[in-house]
Amino acid sequence: MFLHFIPLLLAAQSIDSAPPHHAPRTVAIDERLARDAGLRLGDTLVLTPMPGGAGDTVIVAALVRRPRDPSEVARGAYRIRVHLDELQQLVGYGERVERFAIATRGSSGADSALRAIDASAFGFRAFSSREIAVESSTTFLVVSRFHRAIGVITIVASAVFLLCIMLLKVDERRRDVAALRLMGISSGTVVRGVVLESALIATCGSIAGVGLGALVSAFVNWHYQRVYRTPLTFSLVTGDIVVIAVGLSLGLGLAAGWLAAQRLVRQPPLSLFGR
Amino acid sequence: MILSLAWASLVRHRARTLLAVAGVAISAAMLLDMVMLASGMRVSFRSLLLAQGFQIRLAPRGTLPFDTDATIPGATAIMSQLKARRDVVAVSPVLGAQLHVERGAASVSAAALGTIASVQGDYKILTGRAPTIDGEAAANDALLSATVARLGDTLSVAAGFDPQLRAFTGQRTLRVVGRAHFIYLAAGERALALPLTSLQAMEGASRADRVSLIMVRLREGAAVEAARSAIDREIPVVSAISTATAIEQVEQRLSYFRQLAFILGSVSLAVGFLLVTTLVTVSVNERLGEIAVLRAIGVRRARIVEQILIEGSVIMLVGAVVGMGLGLITARYLNSILASFPGLPEAIHFFLFQPRDAWMALGLLAACGILAGIYPAWRGASLPIAGTLREEAVA
């Protein structure tokens, strides 16, 4: 059974339903706050809506780990989860909430609930979780487009670099190629030889590149997880990415080798000897 | 003679030289973009903050301006306290809220700023005038277009909804007296400005005598950091943020882009360096005989070094100049991608061209060009003349 959540414009987060008033009020704090402020389970805190103002005494009952939410990554704010009624009272919110999250049975249930809520709503709107996910992931789509553009520039730079290196390598072999041609080796065989060599270089480069990429990726994750204090993964080397990178590298290597070889075999062997 | 020899050596292998120049140009373009990215955001954010001459901003304690829905209580008393300071010239309070403009059965949401027109620094009036009395508002083009309204029209606006009574709350009829451009809002974001007291009244008791932000303009020459520190100490319900600290906090949040700029800039420089070193080294290896002959007829070592260094530098500099143009085009494109960040003020640019950046990129590339020529130059200058001539003759 699939549960579909339909968050509405939001409410403060609550740990559970309102506890009985005679019980000591409890809060859950995030691990980061606990670490930075040296707080432990059972510690007593005073929560106030304003610095120096009157507040409520509460007990730290739980430590919570932040969800892996990329939209939170650059925010250094601490989080405290308080019982809903207590937070409403503390900040003078009355009976107001900012959003509801609703679980329904099945996707059709979610759709019909959306329609029913929107039909009877006044002053609020129901959104499906998918709509909210699309809206909140806009930032990451922009970053992704930026990375793609940088990637294209890098590929162009690599292509020129590779072509230049292949040209130099092939140029170094002018005399060898001239000798081969004078011995009767066909230009097709020479081209194939050069292309094979460039494929070999590209393959070796790709393997080294994948290794280097994996190392850099591990470093990036280690660094940014420390900077932002999050378990999020920032860089991921997947099979698809390796296939694309190796494919591109091989394709570029072969093209560069072929172009360089063509340039060489078009010249008469004697001119390659410098005569 | 040295220049002619260097030039002859470069044009002897045109394709190779052109490819090297193209490679350096792409590296230079990337380097310029990354130098622009590293400083552009800081510069444009700084000029945005200082555009209206306010050096200090007061936000609810522990928050950044408009980062949360929190507000500052007792705004009138705080403003009086600030105005009493000798170093303060102007104090501009701002209340932010979300308003709903009624359009038949539906409504259009818009960001609303309650300000005091005479001291406000959040918007510029394009046509008409700023709202000064209750019942007046200035709207931006996005809102006017969404509501099909024009200057002089009236808008029925509400501060909220009462779902139980199924009625709008904090309703007002506002006359549009001005068309405004909101400096700190994102492009396309619908917004309107109205007098502070009007917005506070519309929002009800929860916003009475409260503001979201107070901007402070200091006397010319006043010590900003000392004033910020004093305000922060004297008014416990606010965090006083100077332009410098605001930039620092934003940079912390967007440190990723600065680090990316540093890494990609370094890689670009390294690629350009490798390319030129390889090319010049191969070129020198091909001309060992020629260099040995030059040495044999009395050309000094320093002249040989000079010639090889010139070759490397010419490739680097020509590539760099082409790369500068290319870099400006790509920067424009990359900036257009990042400008679509949700909520980013229109005036913020991640890639901002400053002549200093171009000079810095050119300087780095020129230094790289010289460094790239050092190894091949040393190799060329330290050739054993007789041995090399014999080897070349045998070959």
Domain range annotation of chain B: 2-48+255-394, 62-236
Give the residue on B whose Cα is nearest the Cα of A273: B395
Give the residue on A whose Cα is nearest the Cα of B272: A161
Higher pLDDT, A275 or A126: A126
Q: For A142, which of B268, B275, B341 is closest by C-beta distance?
A: B341
- Eight-state DSSP code of residue A274: T
d(CA B219, CA B205): 35
d(CA B289, CA B24): 28
State the pairing for strand pair B191-195/B106-115: parallel
State the pairing for strand pair B172-182/B136-139: parallel
Note the pLDDT of residue A275: 61
- Eight-state DSSP code of residue B158: E
The angle formed by the CA atoms of residues B9, B313 and B290, to the nearest 5 degrees, is 25
Tell me if chain B has a CB within 8 Å of the CB of A155: no
Q: For B342, which of A74, A124, A139 is closest by C-beta distance?
A: A139
Q: For B19, which of A76, A142, A163 is closest by C-beta distance?
A: A163
A156 contact residues in B (CB cutoff 8 A):
26
Q: Answer yes or no: are the C-beta atoms of A34 and A69 closer than 8 Å.
A: no
The two structure tokens encoding residue B126: 């394009």
How many distinct helices (H) and strands (E) make up chain A? 9, 6
As for the ipTM of the complex, it is: 0.75
For B142-199, write each residue's pLDDT tens digit.
999 999 999 999 999 998 887 777 788 888 899 999 999 998 888 889 999 999 999 9
Report the candidate in A191, A164, A165, A196 with the shortest Cα–Cα distance to residue A180. Answer: A191
C-alpha B15: how far from its chain's center?
38
Give the residue on A whose Cα is nearest the Cα of B334: A146
Cα dihedral B233/B234/B235/B236 (nearest 10): 50
Residue B4 has pLDDT above 80, yes or no: no
Report the candidate in B271, B304, B325 with the shortest Cα–Cα distance to residue B377. Answer: B304
The two structure tokens encoding residue B30: 């990337």
Tell me which residues of chain A, numbers 161 to 180, contact chain B at a CB-CB cutoff of 8 Å.
161, 163-165, 167-168, 171-172
Tell me if chain B has a CB within 8 Å of the CB of A214: no
Q: Cβ–Cβ of A121/B163 closer than 8 Å?
A: yes
Note the pLDDT of residue A12: 38
B338 contact residues in A (CB cutoff 8 A):
142, 146
d(CA B194, CA A119): 33
Q: Cβ–Cβ of B22/A122 closer than 8 Å?
A: no
Q: Answer yes or no: are the C-beta atoms of A252 and A205 closer than 8 Å.
A: no
Q: Cβ–Cβ of B30/A157 closer than 8 Å?
A: yes
Per 3-state DSSP, chain A is made up of helix, strand and coil in percentages (nearest 5) of 55, 10, 30
Q: Which of A4-8, B131-135, B171-175 is least confident?
A: A4-8
Tell me if chain B has a CB within 8 Å of the CB of A76: yes
B163 contact residues in A (CB cutoff 8 A):
121-124
Q: Cβ–Cβ of A146/B334 closer than 8 Å?
A: yes
Note the pLDDT of residue B175: 95
The two structure tokens encoding residue B138: 């200035």
Report the candidate in B32, B21, B20, B22 with the shortest Cα–Cα distance to residue B329. Answer: B32
d(CA B395, CA B338): 58
Note the pLDDT of residue A23: 65
For B69-86, write each residue's pLDDT tens digit.
788 989 999 999 999 999
Give the residue on B whose Cα is nearest the Cα of A149: B334
Report the candidate in A55, A160, A198, A65 with the shortest Cα–Cα distance to residue B24. Answer: A160
pTM greater than 0.80: no
d(CA A144, CA B337): 10
A163 contact residues in B (CB cutoff 8 A):
19
Give the residue on A whose Cα is nearest the Cα of B162: A123
Q: Answer yes or no: are the C-beta atoms of B251 and B93 closer than 8 Å.
A: no
With a CB cutoff of 8 Å and minimum separation 6, the contacts of B376 are B277, B280, B281, B283, B284, B308, B312
Given pLDDT bands bounded at 50, 70 and 90, which one contains residue A4? very low
